[in-house]
């Protein structure tokens, strides 16, 4: 069965520090991978998605993620955290045409001034 593991339910960083949110997937076939962000009391918004065109994917708000097949990982990074980045982040995977996404449990990012 498809699954996504997000390491760390809560990550705390200082403003200006590197953000690294980890995501690993289980797969025997190439997946399609997504990162979504959820701000408090809101729905989910797409940050970026991997569609096999390039292993390094750039998204909105300065975030990017790198697909590493050998490590079955799709970690999300941002060079410099901003207070407005505080939110919950979800990694999700899909394996075939327009099938529903399977979500990880989420990582809550806190940014300390």
List contacts with other proteins (CB under 8 A): 9, 32, 36, 41-46, 49, 51, 90, 94-106
What minimum distance in Å lies between the beta carbon of 101 and other proteins?
6
Nearest distance in Å: CB 15, other proteins: 26
Please say whether the beta carbons of 48 and 37 come within 8 A: no
Closer residue to other proteins (CB): 14 or 99: 99
Give the whole-angstrom CA distance, residue 108 versus residue 21.
Answer: 9
Q: What are phi and psi of 110, to 5 degrees?
A: -110, 140
Rounded CA separation 85/104 (Å): 19
Which CB sits closer to other proteins, 5 or 77?
5
Pairing of strands 56-58, 10-14: unpaired
**Least distance in Å: CB of 69 to other proteins?**
16
Task: Give the residue with the Cβ less far from other proteins, 28 or 113.
Answer: 28
């Amino acid at each position: 069965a498809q699954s996504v593991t997000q390491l760390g339910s809560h990550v705390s960083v200082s403003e200006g520090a590197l953000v690294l949110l980890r995501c690993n997937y289980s797969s025997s076939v190439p997946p399609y991978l997504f990162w979504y962000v959820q701000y408090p009391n809101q729905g989910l918004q797409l940050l970026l998605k991997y569609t096999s065109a390039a292993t390094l994917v750039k998204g909105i708000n300065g975030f990017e993620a790198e697909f590493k097949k050998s490590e079955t990982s799709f970690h999300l990074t941002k060079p410099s955290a901003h207070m407005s980045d505080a939110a919950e982040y979800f990694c999700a995977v899909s394996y075939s045409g327009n099938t529903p996404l399977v979500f990880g449990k989420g990582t809550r990012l806190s940014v300390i001034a």
